[in-house]
Amino acid sequence: MSTPLTIEEIHKLYAAGEATPSEIVRTTLEKIEADNERLNAYLTISKESASIAAAAMDNEIQSAIQTKPLAGIPVVVKDNMCTAGIRTTCGSRILGNYVPPYTATAVQKLQAAGAILVAKANLDEFAMGSSTENSAFGTVRNPVNTDYVPGGSSGGSAVAVAAGHVPVSLGSDTGGSIRQPASFCGIVGLKPTYGRVSRYGLVAYASSLDQIGPFATSVKDAARMLQVISGHDRHDSTSSNAQVPNFLSALTGNIKGLRVGVPPECFGEGLDAEVRTKVEAAIAKLKERGAEIVEVHLPHTKYVVAVYYLIATAEASSNLARFDGVRYGHRTEDPRSLSDLYRRTRDEGFGAEVKRRIMLGTFALSSGYYDAYYEKAQRVRAMLANDFAEAFKKCDVIATPTAPTPAFKIGEKSDDPLAMYLGDIYTVTMNLAGVPAVSVPCGASSAGLPIGIQLIGNHFDEARLLNAAYAFEQENSI
Ligand code: GLN
């Protein structure tokens, strides 16, 4: 039996009595195990706990599908979300054997909705990267073409869905890490509004930017996932009290009169010609379906990569200070003094990119440089938020490419951090401003590599954003 690709398809099988959760989970695990050597998408496969959870649902699945939106659905989550009793490595040697005592709220909510966690997905170490080549546990490969990267940092979670192992998974997005791999792998990836989803139990990279969100093969399934994981959490003071609307019922496909803003700043130099053509064609399809296309401006686009890499690394340098060999994970052998313990533990535990970022961030925060770098970056960040406020006076959603190019080859950019960082130009802005954005497949390059269009919404306007994405998906599949 091949694993069905959507939540609805699996629920139909359950409803018809044609499959049980145990059977679905067994097939899923078999596929995951068979593909993992080739794709390296998983760090831990929770075979036993998944099988137990599935068996416990076998008898009650008929009633469960009526009440639980994810009843019997196998899911994968990125390995920077804590899972009680299941190793959580963050793709780092420093947490190589870390088993958390608690589960992240978003994961707990999936499980409460009936989902079955089958595996923890590989990622760039501490979510720092755009290709999933920075994992201490090896590079992840793109299932569309294994010579290419899947994007990052949530590469493993994207591959889990793109390879057809599970219908949905969770990633985290600090500067594009859900949207860019979704684009590279040809699936849907959503970064919710900052505060929409609890970050409790998500190992922090840059706390003012981090947000958990879903990967799926369809906008509908992404909406289903968002419904489950959204909402205030008393364990995360930055999670919002904003009302959680019914995202599924917002998917009418009607976008008559919807104003779609197109910022020329996101179609300039450095944009691959094929990506431009496909994204422009996608915008034309939105128009055919009744949307009104308007020009808007994001005038600070040229600064966003610099601003992002100052703020993200500054926050990372502070967040990662806790990995000192005293409290969590790896500890060096026979330290000669306390500072020797810190130094050697961190030297042995962190990879090159994480070290680079800690140094960059520490530098940007250090006295004498703080005003010139960190503070200045914060000021530009405020201007970016203002750019969106202005743009959203003229439109309801904004359309841009998700990434300037399709997936690149493994190894192509790994020795050139700056080239890698520049690829984040269209995605980091939304994290800096806190607005939601979704990547939806809109075609492929002549080499057969997927291309995504990014749709951006105003704060807490995911319902309208997802409906725009849904309308495009409908139009595109005709
Ligand atoms: N590529 C960006 C970075 O390396 C974004 C990563 C992310 O969103 N976690 O920081």
Burial class from Cβ neighbours inside 10 Å (0-12, 13-18, 19+) for residue 380 reads: middle
Task: Confirm or reject: Cβ of 177 under 6 Å from ligand 1.
Answer: yes
Give me ligand 1 centre to Cα 153, in Å. 6
Is residue 442 a contact partner of residue 279, using CB atoms and an 8 Å limit? Answer: yes
Averaged confidence pLDDT in the chain: 97
128 lines ligand 1 (CB under 6 A): yes
Q: Is the CB of 174 under 6 A from ligand 1?
A: yes
- Residue 218 Cα to ligand 1 middle (Å): 24
Closest of 371, 397, 366 to residue 470, by C-alpha: 397
Main-chain phi, psi angles of 419, to 5 degrees: -60, -40
> Bridge partners of 213?
171
Alpha carbon of 159 to ligand 1 centroid (Å): 17
* Ligand 1 centroid to residue 424 C-alpha, Å: 8
Backbone dihedral region for residue 164 (phi beyond 0: left; psi -120 to 50: alpha; all else: beta): left
**Pocket lining: 80 vs ligand 1, CB cutoff 6 Å:** no
- Pocket perturbation via mutation, ligand 1, pick of 305, 424, 426, 431 by most ligand atoms within 8 A of CB: 424
Give the per-residue pLDDT at 67: 97
Q: Is 175 in the pocket of ligand 1 (CB under 6 A)?
A: yes
Predicted local confidence at residue 2, as pLDDT: 52
The length of the chain in residues reads 478
pLDDT at 126: 98
Report residue 78 as tokens.
């990125």
The token duo for 9 is 């398809």
User: Of the candidates 186, 151, 5, 168, which has an alpha carbon nearest to the alpha carbon of residue 76?
Assistant: 168
Nearest atom (ligand 1) to Cα of 308: 10
Amino acid at the residue 146: T
**Does the C-beta of 127 come closer than 6 Å to ligand 1?**
yes
Closest CA to 65 of 117, 4, 17, 119: 17
The DSSP code for 325 is S
Predicted pLDDT at 75: 98
Residue 206: closest CA among 1, 351, 66, 364: 364
**For residue 127, which atom of ligand 1 is closest to its CA?**
9
Which atom number of ligand 1 is nearest to the Cα of residue 423? 1
- Report how far ligand 1's centroid is from the alpha carbon of 54 (Å): 34
CB 122 within 8 A of CB 156: yes
**Cβ contacts of 477 within 8 Å, gap of 6 or more:** none
pLDDT at 228 over 80: yes
What pLDDT is attached to residue 258?
98
Atom nearest to 424 CA in ligand 1: 1
| Per-residue pLDDT at 1 exceeds 90 | no
pLDDT band at 90 (very low <50, low <70, confident <90, very high): very high
Pinpoint the residues of the chain covered by CATH 3.90.1300.10: 1-300+380-478
pLDDT tens figures, 47-77: 999 999 999 999 999 999 999 999 999 999 9
Q: How far is CA 194 from CA 191, 278, 421, 425, in A?
A: 8, 29, 22, 19
Pocket flag, ligand 1, residue 122 (CB < 6 Å): no
Position in ligand 1 atom list of the atom nearest CA 173: 8
What positions carry a catalytic annotation? 78, 153, 177
- Look at residue 333 and tell me whether its pLDDT is greater than 80: yes
- The CA 213 to ligand 1 mean position distance, Å, reads 14
The answer for residues whose C-beta is within 8 angstroms of residue 78's C-beta and 6 or more apart is 120, 121, 123, 127, 154, 156, 157, 169, 170, 171, 172
Task: Please name the CATH architecture into which domain 1-300+380-478 falls.
Answer: Alpha-Beta Complex (3.90)
**In 3D, which of 205, 112, 235, 214 has the Cα closest to residue 171?**
214
**CA atoms within 13 A of residue 32's CA, in its CB half-sphere:** 30
* Cβ–Cβ < 8 Å for 276, 399: no
Q: pLDDT confidence of 478, banded at 50, 70, 90?
A: low
Instruction: Average the pLDDT over 15-30 and give the result.
Output: 97
Q: What is the band of 328 on the pLDDT scale with cuts at 50, 70, 90? A: confident
Q: Is the CB of 130 under 6 A from ligand 1?
A: yes
What angle, rounded to 10 degrees, do the helices at 105-112 and 219-229 form?
110
298 is written with which tokens?
């994001």
| C-beta of 424 in contact with ligand 1 (< 6 A) | yes
Atom 5 in ligand 1: which residue has the minimum CA distance?
A: 175
* Cα of 250 from ligand 1 centre, angstroms: 30
Pocket test for ligand 1, best of 153, 207, 209 (most atoms within 8 A of CB): 153
For the question of whether the overall pTM of this predicted structure is more than 0.95, the answer is yes
Cβ of 473 closer than 6 Å to ligand 1, yes or no, is no
CA-nearest of 293, 285, 295, 226 to 438 is: 226
pLDDT at 4 over 70: no
DSSP β-ladder status, 116-121 and 74-78? parallel
With a cut of 80, say whether residue 158 has pLDDT above it. Answer: yes
Structural contact between residues 462 and 193, judged by C-beta atoms closer than 8 angstroms: yes
Rounded Cα–Cα distance for residues 361 and 69 (Å):
41
Backbone angles phi, psi at 320, to 5 degrees: -85, 0
pLDDT at 115 over 80: yes
pLDDT in tens, 424-448: 999 999 999 999 999 999 999 999 9
Tens digits of per-residue pLDDT, 265-300?
999 999 999 999 999 999 999 999 999 999 999 999
- Is 153 near ligand 1, meaning CB less than 6 Å away? yes
